[in-house]
Chain A
Amino acid sequence: AQSVAQPEDQVNVAEGNPLTVKCTYSVSGNPYLFWYVQYPNRGLQFLLKYITGDNLVKGSYGFEAEFNKSQTSFHLKKPSALVSDSALYFCAVRAVNAGNNRKLIWGLGTSLAVNP
């Protein structure tokens, strides 16, 4: 069965420190992988995606994520956290050959709190 795990419900970091939000997945075949961010009382916004190619993907707001096929992980990272990065982060996955099966598999989300 396809699944996405975000093992940490909450991550706390100090402003200026590096941050990591973890995601591991299980999918049949090659995956499309995504990170989305949700600010309070807002819809989700796309951050970045891995389709193919370079394992290090750069996205919006200085975020990046590293695809690790052997560990089936796609951790989100940022070198220097900002207070404004505080939000809910979602990882999602879809099999490459899903065709018209539009079902993204979503993680439960990780709440990131960046302390001043």
Chain B
Amino acid sequence: NAGVTQTPKFRVLKTGQSMTLLCAQDMNHEYMYWYRQDPGMGLRLIHYSVGEGTTAKGEVPDGYNVSRLKKQNFLLGLESAAPSQTSVYFCASSYEDRMGEKLFFGSGTQLSVL
């Protein structure tokens, strides 16, 4: 049981390049999220999904796209990277029952855009 796995762990891009971050969870969770974490800004939600085939915008969706073709995977794409997208990206998954919600986070992807 690996939990939430993010790949890659580190990446350096040049401005204008594209890339995809992969998030995989093996807990059969319905909900998945992509966050970015920046100093002094806390965690900001980029996009999220409430189930297979669904996606929704979070607080800071511009410049990113996502897809959830399979329940266990949630992909985050950067079509044309910009230096402002230099950040640490975290994927999370969760379930919710009568006891509330609990998020499980991956270990993060450090992205630098030069």
With A and B bound together, what is the CA distance between A107 and B4 in angstroms? 23
With A and B bound together, what is the CA distance between A104 and B56 in angstroms? 14
Closest to B33 in A: A102
Give the contact stretch, choosing among A15-23, A45-53, A70-78, A79-87: A45-53
A interface residues, tally (CB under 8 Å):
20
Scan B51-81; emit 1 where CB is below 8 A from any A CB, else 0. Answer: 0000010110000000000000000000000
Taking chain B's interface residues, is the majority helix, strand, or loop, or is none over half, making it mixed?
A: strand
CB-defined contacts of B105 to chain A, threshold 8 Å: 43-45
Closest to B40 in A: A108
CB-defined contacts of A106 to chain B, threshold 8 Å: 42-44
With A and B bound together, what is the CA distance between A98 and B45 in angstroms? 16
The answer to whether B102 touches A102, judged by C-beta atoms less than 8 angstroms apart, is no
Q: Answer yes or no: B41 CB below 8 A from chain A CBs.
A: yes
Give the shortest distance, in Å, between A67 (CB) and chain B (any CB): 13
The answer to whether B59 touches A42, judged by C-beta atoms less than 8 angstroms apart, is no
Taking chain A's interface residues, is the majority helix, strand, or loop, or is none over half, making it mixed?
A: loop
CB-defined contacts of B99 to chain A, threshold 8 Å: 51
Q: Answer yes or no: A90 CB below 8 A from chain B CBs.
A: yes
The answer to whether A102 touches B48, judged by C-beta atoms less than 8 angstroms apart, is yes
With A and B bound together, what is the CA distance between A94 and B76 in angstroms? 24
With A and B bound together, what is the CA distance between A94 and B43 in angstroms? 14
The answer to whether B107 touches A102, judged by C-beta atoms less than 8 angstroms apart, is no
With A and B bound together, what is the CA distance between A41 and B90 in angstroms? 11
Measured CB to CB, the residues of A under 8 A from B are: 32, 36, 41-46, 49, 51, 90, 94, 100, 102-104, 106-109
Measured CB to CB, the residues of B under 8 A from A are: 4, 31, 33, 40-45, 48, 50, 56, 58-59, 90, 92, 99-108
A-B complex: 7 closest residue pairs judged by Cβ atoms = A43-B105, A51-B100, A108-B42, A106-B43, A44-B105, A106-B42, A43-B107
12 contacts between A and B (CB under 8 A): A32-B101, A43-B90, A43-B107, A46-B103, A51-B100, A90-B42, A90-B43, A102-B50, A103-B45, A103-B48, A103-B59, A106-B44
